[in-house]
Chain A
Amino acid sequence: MIPALTIENLTKQYAGGFQALKGISLEVQHGDFFALLGPNGAGKSTTIGVICSLVSKTAGKVAVYGTDIDEDFAGAKKNIGIVPQEFNFNMFEQPFDIVVNQAGYYGMPKALASQRAEQYLRELGLWEKRHVPSRMLSGGMKRRLMIARALVHNPRLLILDEPTAGVDIEMRRSMWDFLQKLNREGTTIILTTHYLEEAEALCRNIAIINHGEIVENSSMRDLLRRLHREVFIFDAVDELPEVVAIQDFGVRRIDERTLEVEVEKGQHINEVFAALSQYGIRISSMRNRANRLEEMFVRLVEGAK
């Protein structure tokens, strides 16, 4: 199967001499839900910019479904749908026109474009707002409008740059559902996000980019498996004793009803519960102290410094 995206030794050096990409290589398979993560200024948006022709590369190769962008950029572009980080539509135009016009730029006849625009505006809950000037839409609606616009020509590869930034939790969840459905239907998705729980929930494979270099490229499962330690927070029903010690586990009393317990790889959380029962401590709830991916991300990024 031809990969959805192949990047080989991609380099980008800006006029001032700043090297945003230092020869990165990446492959995204067809049907994947791929996370491209990295801190601000790491090179994520530059990479995406090169793929969709908003940034000129200095060196390297990029191919979308086997079509090299240097040989047939128009052919490659037909396969790409892009949802950028910033709102990049005319705020005075109406959502319906924005989506139909975008289809027109891909050569789609108006009747079919209108049909597709209706389909995606309905699916993304914007149909009622189709004739409202887009500046009147909420932030979440504007983000969904950009998704509808990116999908109108039925791209095989959808690239989303921070699609849920500034979107409320309920809306984010519904966007997740929509993107998962899209991915199940065969669209390859590349996602950049600062919400690491989002990447963990949605993506199967992941690349972490830092200072213009790929510092990690693996499956999400493998990456998380390499995490050796997790920290759990236990909320007690009653007041905790002054000292709580559990053999082989790092335990810290946060306050009179909260305990923090470190669980190393290979240890079992049942042992913690057993020990807490011996103390007569009853637990009402338990949660991870931090998102697991976030912890791994910080380690990788810190490690690269």
Chain B
Amino acid sequence: MSFQEQWVALVTILRKEVKRYLRIWTQTLLPSAITMSLYFVIFGSLIGSRIGDMGGFTYMQFVVPGLIMMAIVTNSYSNVVSSFFGSKFNHSVEELLVSPTPNYIILLGYVIGGVSRGLLVAVIVTLVSLFFTDLHIHSFTVVVVIVLMTSILFALAGFINAVYANNFDDISIIPTFVLTPLIYLGGVFYSMDLLPDFWAAVSKLNPLVYVVNAFRYGVLGVSDVSLAVAFGMIAVFTVVAWCYSMHLLNTGKRLRQ
């Protein structure tokens, strides 16, 4: 396929993905807005007012970056895992597999689709958060880069999950038993400084710690981990996830007989 044809194929996959999650917006966009509003009310306003300052900011200001990042992670992931597994389940993935579209365009299309939903939800959650607190961006560049890198990483993770999933239960196992605990233990609601040394060290094995802290640095200018380490870790995870996803597509594992 020529570059022009590949571009058309990419835009087609992306358009289809965006249309899909907009068509079912009550399942894809609305829940995050409601869940995050509840987090803001309960953890930010009700409990947060009793907790006091954290890292030099009000508790509400402290949790907002983590909650936005939580929405980005879960939405980027769940968009790709549900969409790609759905197309595997109803065999419509064959539309792509029989076409001359290169595998990297297929992967890119699904990943950008997941990223776009992650970003859209991030905008919605940020707008909701403005009802509860003021947000001042410390570094716009860091915010943009970390949001893009994170949503790409988790969209790729969602793709890998979708390829391995055999039924709908399999696409909720990872988000429920892996992703959610990692997010909750990733410093969304607390600073690493509050943890004993041992648990602080253990927490640094959690990739979500780097994601949440890097984003918090972009928004508030404070972080529990080094920004360079955070970017490095996310970049390495992303490259590994991309290579593994391409390997799955190229070998046709669980996609071709």
Q: Could you say which of B8, B95, B99 has the most chain A C-beta atoms within 10 Å of its C-beta?
A: B99
- For residue A142, CB closer than 8 A to chain B, the reply is no
- For residue B203, CB closer than 8 A to chain A, the reply is no
Question: Which residues, 1 to 27 on B, are CB-close (under 8 Å) to A?
Answer: 1-2, 4-6, 8-9, 11-13, 15-16, 19, 23
Q: How far is the CA of A98 from the CA of B23 in the complex (A)?
A: 15
Q: How far is the CA of A84 from the CA of B234 in the complex (A)?
A: 41
Number of A-B pairs whose CB atoms are under 8 Å?
88
| In the complex, chain B residues whose CB is within 8 Å of the CB of A56 | 252, 256-257
* A107/B92 in contact, CB under 8 A: no
**Candidates B15, B87, B98; contact of A90 at CB < 8 Å:** B87
- For residue B175, CB closer than 8 A to chain A, the reply is no
| In the complex, chain B residues whose CB is within 8 Å of the CB of A102 | 95, 99
Q: How far is the CA of A264 from the CA of B92 in the complex (A)?
A: 50
- For residue A49, CB closer than 8 A to chain B, the reply is yes
Q: State how many residues of chain A have any CB contact under 8 Å with chain B.
A: 35
Q: How far is the CA of A46 from the CA of B96 in the complex (A)?
A: 18
| Interface size class, chain B | 20 to 34
The smallest C-beta distance from A90 to any residue of chain B, in angstroms, reads 4
* A101/B257 in contact, CB under 8 A: no
* B97/A108 in contact, CB under 8 A: no
* A106/B5 in contact, CB under 8 A: yes
Q: How far is the CA of A28 from the CA of B100 in the complex (A)?
A: 22
| In the complex, chain B residues whose CB is within 8 Å of the CB of A89 | 90, 92, 95
* A88/B8 in contact, CB under 8 A: no
The smallest C-beta distance from B254 to any residue of chain A, in angstroms, reads 12
- For residue B207, CB closer than 8 A to chain A, the reply is no
The smallest C-beta distance from B16 to any residue of chain A, in angstroms, reads 6
Against A, the Cβ 8 Å flags (1 = close, 0 = not) of B49-93 are 000000000000000000000000000000000000011001110
Q: How far is the CA of A91 from the CA of B13 in the complex (A)?
A: 17
Tell me whether A53 and B97 are in contact in the complex, defined as CB-CB below 8 angstroms, given that A90-B87, A90-B90, A107-B2 are known contacts: yes
**Taking beta carbons and an 8 Å cutoff, which residues of A are in contact with B?**
14, 46, 49, 52-56, 73-75, 77-78, 80, 82, 84, 86-92, 97-98, 101-102, 104-110, 149
Known: A104-B11, A107-B6. 10 other contacts (CB 8 A): A46-B257, A55-B256, A56-B252, A74-B102, A98-B95, A101-B15, A101-B95, A104-B12, A105-B12, A110-B8
